[in-house]
Structure 1
Amino acid sequence: MKLTILQTGDVPLPLREQFGPYRRMFERLFDQTGQGFAYETVNIADGAPLPDPNTLDGFVITGSAAGVYDDLPWLNPLRNFIRQSYTQRTPMLGICFGHQIMADALGGDVRKSEKGWGLGRHVYGVRQRPEFMQHAPSLLAVACSHQDQVITPPRDAEVILASDFTPNAGLAYRNGAALSFQPHPEFDDAYTLALAELRRGKAPDALVDKALASVATPSNSADVAGYIGQFFTRR
């Protein structure tokens, strides 16, 4: 099965030489599943045209520094692509910005949260267990880095992950072919720490320090990778 990575952002320039391009984080994430995925990347933020969803086995929309409210030329075409893919039941996954733009395109409300930055490793409660997550534990600890949030999910979305800070952190859609997460299972610990430190000066020092300490909590990113692998291949 080939997964198409719709790249909407990249590793920040100060960290790119050390951590490489963003697409490789996703390839490593999906390689963890043992499903033998093949990959192609379409960098839509740099102007690459969107593919025809009918030609795709499945795709992921990555994180981005962009917000759904920004005036960018590729946002409306991406919204239309998401709606078309949803109608056709092309398997799609959204991570962070991808989670937000999927919700926005399908009727939800996405805004910059009054709660401020989410950084470091957050712990989310599992609210529902779709078939591909039926053995999930009650809590999952996953890295995050965001200010925007899905405030109101689309009507077709069921909340599967939640926390006090991020009440709509994971959404599974009722067409059975759309899944999204606010946190970043593709981030390893070193990158999570480096990214949190990069926010110093934008986020309060005390919040950055708390984020750095939070990485001591064991990660469940490998578990989430497994759920994602099951989501894409169960069909």
Structure 2
Amino acid sequence: MSEPRPQSQPARVVILKTGTTYPSIREVHGDFEAWFVRGLSPNLALTVINVEQGELPGAPEQWDGIVVTGSPAMVSDRAEWSENTARWLADAVEQQIPVFGVCYGHQLLAHALGGEVGYHPKGRETGTRTIELTAEAAADPLFATLPGSFKAQLTHKQSVLKLPAGAVLLGRSDFEPHQAFRVGECAWGVQFHPEFTDTVMKGYLNVQAPELIAENLDPKALLAAAEPAPVASSLLQRFSNLIMNRQR
């Protein structure tokens, strides 16, 4: 476990960047790391490491917390950078360093710990959807006190098909049985995107529209249903608070 830092020094959190968004969205809204920086506490010392481009985060124990972004890549392709990051994450979990993986990060965390990741048998999930929490979420350090169901932004083709051994299922949806899980005391994965605003979600739906039509999905209906998801977004601040409270 990493040594707690003096209270005078902010907790060090690394954002592992695993890809980049569509160019048209990046021009207007910035890239993945900007959305996480916006959602995490300003009282953290944040560092972005682009692992997809070969940057290395150093030893896990250098960090008080770890966030893993989404990506257009596929975990099942097992790219070298991705597999290296998976091994690094497994080491971080072993050392009980708080980890929060989102979408690709959620899947990579599951893969790193022995779960199974692949294409969802029913295809793509995208848009604003409802997450249902399990009974176990009520006692979870991150999800406790959240409402039993809430809206979240989603866009993914791959899923965690099988959770790692010992994982605690925290959330599901009608489409996706593994929306959120925890392994150990402080490692979480969420399939949904707490860093997305509804504007970013609409940007994705607009870019994806031709593919959605080809997949017999209705982009106009999905755009009409897109709405803010403040409860899901609150998880980034909750994760920030958890990290800062561990220093006390």
User: What TM-score does the superposition give when structure 2 sets the normalisation length?
Assistant: 0.87
Query: In the aligned structure 2, how far is the partner of 1:218 from the partner of 1:161?
Result: 15
- 1:47 is aligned to 54
Which letter does structure 2 place at the counterpart of 1:168?
H
Given the alignment, which residue of 72, 82, 88 partners 1:65?
72
Given the alignment, which residue of 4, 13, 17 partners 1:3?
13
Show CA shifts across 1:56-107 (max 9, x none): 1111110001111114220221111011111111111100000000001101
- 1:136 is aligned to 146
The answer to whether the Cα contact below 8 Å between 2:146 and 2:231 also exists between their aligned partners in 1 is no
Q: Which moved more, 1:81-90 or 1:217-226?
A: 217-226
- Residue 140 of structure 1: how far off its partner (Å): 1.7
Query: In the aligned structure 1, how far is the partner of 2:49 from the partner of 2:163?
Result: 27
Query: In the aligned structure 1, how far is the partner of 2:50 from the partner of 2:228?
Result: 33
The answer to whether the Cα contact below 8 Å between 2:197 and 2:229 also exists between their aligned partners in 1 is no
- 1:168 is aligned to 178
Q: Secondary structure at the match of 1:110?
A: strand
Q: Secondary structure at the match of 1:89?
A: coil
Does residue 91 of the first structure (1) align with residue 98 of the second (2)? yes
Query: In the aligned structure 1, how far is the partner of 2:228 from the partner of 2:198?
Result: 10
Task: Go from structure 1 to structure 2 and tell me whether the alpha carbon gap of 1:139 and 1:75 turns closer, same or farther (over 3 Å shift).
Answer: same
The answer to whether the Cα contact below 8 Å between 1:160 and 1:170 also exists between their aligned partners in 2 is yes
Does residue 233 of the first structure (1) align with residue 240 of the second (2)? no
User: What TM-score does the superposition give when structure 1 sets the normalisation length?
Assistant: 0.92
Which letter does structure 2 place at the counterpart of 1:49?
L
Does residue 25 of the first structure (1) align with residue 35 of the second (2)? yes
4+ runs deviating over 4 angstroms: none
The answer to whether the Cα contact below 8 Å between 1:132 and 1:230 also exists between their aligned partners in 2 is no
In structure 2, stretches of 5+ residues that fail to align are 1-10
Given the alignment, which residue of 200, 210, 213 partners 2:221?
210
Between the aligned residues of both structures, percent identity stands at 25
RMSD: 1.7
Task: Go from structure 1 to structure 2 and tell me whether the alpha carbon gap of 1:90 and 1:216 turns closer, same or farther (over 3 Å shift).
Answer: closer
Which letter does structure 1 place at the counterpart of 2:27?
E
Task: Go from structure 1 to structure 2 and tell me whether the alpha carbon gap of 1:125 and 1:213 turns closer, same or farther (over 3 Å shift).
Answer: same
- Residue 157 of structure 1: how far off its partner (Å): 1.1
Query: In the aligned structure 2, how far is the partner of 1:49 from the partner of 1:134?
Result: 33
Q: Secondary structure at the match of 1:48?
A: coil
- 1:100 is aligned to 107
Q: How many residues align?
A: 231
